[in-house]
Copies of this chain bind each other. A is one copy, B any other.
């Protein structure tokens, strides 16, 4: 079975049919059509959906994913190397998110220790504090 119908893609990926329609409208995935106008997906759609799911777990908006997908070929199924490149970039993004959360956790520990949570001296509470704000996560992705 070389091509997938929406229902098959939905079952295999774990997302709903309506979500697949939605992703297509948003330009995240692409389908060929049968003579009768039914969607047929190339196998790479499952990889794309997997990436979308990872993205959502780490809080990256779909629009940023769409842009990331922009680096992949449009008409051709991406090569393993092209996917590996994308995956490496995701790995870096996860590294940043993890570092951010660790930082946050450690600051929170400090705050418990000092009893200061949210007072003016506390980095967590003070949005002007560059150390607390470094990163800001998804924004890095949207404007790299």
Contacts and interface: CB of A to CB of B under 8 A. Distances in A.
A54 B101 contact: no
Contacts of A120: 12
Contacts of A95: 105
Interface in A71-125: 80, 83-84, 87-88, 90-91, 94-95, 97-98, 100-102, 104-105, 108-109, 111-112, 115, 117-120, 122, 124-125
Contacts of A80: 115
Interface in A15-67: 46-51, 53-54, 57-59
Interface size on A, as a range, is 35 or more
Contact of A50 (B13, B14, B105, B125): B125
Nearest to A45: B118
A127 interface: yes
Contacts of A98: 98, 101-102, 105
A120 to B, nearest CB: 7
14 contacts: A12-B120, A13-B125, A14-B128, A46-B125, A49-B118, A51-B118, A53-B127, A54-B104, A57-B100, A87-B112, A88-B112, A91-B112, A94-B104, A98-B102
